[in-house]
Amino acid sequence: MSARALAALALALAPAVVHARPASAGPDRAATQALVKQCGDTEDFSAPAPPARLYGNTFYVGTCTVSVLLVTSPQGHVLVDSATDQAVPAILANIRALGFRPEDIRWIVSSHEHFDHVGGLAALQKATGARVALSAPAARIAQTGAPDPADSQFGVLKDHPFAPVKTDRIVTPGSVIRVGPVRLVMSATPGHTTGSTSWSWQSCADKRCRTVSYVDSISALAAPPYRFTDHPEVVARFRRTFAAIAARRCGILVTPHPSVSNLFERMQGQEPLAPQDACRAYAAKGRKGLDAQLAKETAK
C-alpha cells in the first residue's frame, strides 16, 4: 500500500473531535444555544453547562450560572475563576471537550473570594498543576478557606467554607499574567468583597483581536445583621469602583454571573456582543443597587 493510501486510511479511522471548534472568531451561537437549552431556568451554582467559544481564543467553560473562562495559547492557557468545588469535574470535561488539556493550564486567576467563584480553586489547582494568582485580600481568605467575618454577606457565607488554596503570586493593579502571547492585566475593583479583582486581555483569531473585560461583581448584597449604612468606608469604596468601571472601554464584557450582563443573549446574537456603553451601564446598575440598599436600610 502506498504512503498516500496509508495516510488516507489513517485519516478515515481517526476518532472524531468531541467538540469541534468553529472557524469563526466570533461566539459559537449553536453551542451557546445548546448551553441555554440545557440550563433552562436553574439557579444552581454547580449546574453543568456545555462549553462555547466566546471570542477567538477565549471560551466559556463554566456552569449555567457561574462564569469560568479558558484563554488559550500554543504555549499554555489561563483559567479565569473556578466556580464551586462540585463544578470542577464538569469544568475539566468542558476543557477536554474543546480539544484542550487541563494539564496545559499555566495560571488560574480569580474574581473574588466567595465559595461560588473560588470553591473549586484547590481542586483545579491540583488537577492542572497550574499556579494561582490572587489579590492580597483574596489570598488571605483563600489560605484558610474561611469566609471573611467583615464581608457584608458573612451571615450566609459562614455556612460555605471552601478548601484552602496556596497562592503562588500576589497581584496588584497593573499586574500582568503572561502565557505565550496571552496577557491578562489585573484591576482592583473592591466593593463586593475587599479582594474583588477584574481582568482584561486581547482575544485574537484570524488576525482579529478584541478586548475582553472580566469585570467582577459590584452588587451591594447584605446578609443580616450587616448594614452598609454602618460602614461608610465600604460605601465609599463601592463608589470609587463604580467610577473606575464607568470610565473603562470594556470591549466584550463578562461578569462572574453571566446573567448579570446578559452574556448568553449576547453570545447568541440577540443583543450586541460589545456595546460601547457596556461598562458605563454595568456601573450604573451597581450604583442603583447600592442606592436602593442604602434607602432600604435608612427607611428601617
Catalytic annotation present for 19: no
Cα gap 95→113, rounded to integer Å = 23
> Catalytic pick from 28, 81, 85, 116?
116
pLDDT higher than 60, residue 152: yes
Question: Do residues 286 and 242 touch, judged by C-beta distance below 8 A?
Answer: yes
Catalytic annotation present for 160: no
Question: Higher-confidence residue: 2 or 172?
Answer: 172
Confidence category of residue 11, pLDDT binned at 50, 70, 90? very low
pLDDT higher than 90, residue 206: no
Catalytic annotation present for 117: yes
Catalytic annotation present for 226: yes
> Catalytic pick from 19, 160, 231, 257?
257
Q: What is the mean pLDDT of residues 81-95?
A: 98
Question: SS3 of 11, please?
Answer: helix
Cα gap 300→294, rounded to integer Å = 10
> Catalytic pick from 114, 151, 214, 282?
114
Catalytic annotation present for 112: yes
Q: What is the mean pLDDT of residues 257-273?
A: 97
Predicted pLDDT of residue 24:
58
Predicted pLDDT of residue 300:
79
> Catalytic pick from 77, 112, 148, 151?
112
Q: What is the mean pLDDT of residues 48-58?
A: 97
Q: Give the containing element (helix H, strand E) for 182.
A: strand 182-188
- CA 171 from centroid of its chain's CA atoms: 17
**For the CA atoms of the chain, what is the radius of gyration?**
20
Catalytic annotation present for 282: no
Q: What is the mean pLDDT of residues 277-298?
A: 98
Q: What is the mean pLDDT of residues 152-173?
A: 97
> Catalytic pick from 117, 148, 151, 282?
117
Look at the pTM and tell me if it is higher than 0.85: yes
Question: Higher-confidence residue: 16 or 57?
Answer: 57
Predicted pLDDT of residue 195:
97
pLDDT higher than 70, residue 228: yes
Q: What is the mean pLDDT of residues 258-285?
A: 97
Catalytic annotation present for 257: yes
Question: Do residues 254 and 190 touch, judged by C-beta distance below 8 A?
Answer: no
> Catalytic pick from 44, 168, 226, 231?
226
> Catalytic pick from 28, 55, 192, 216?
192
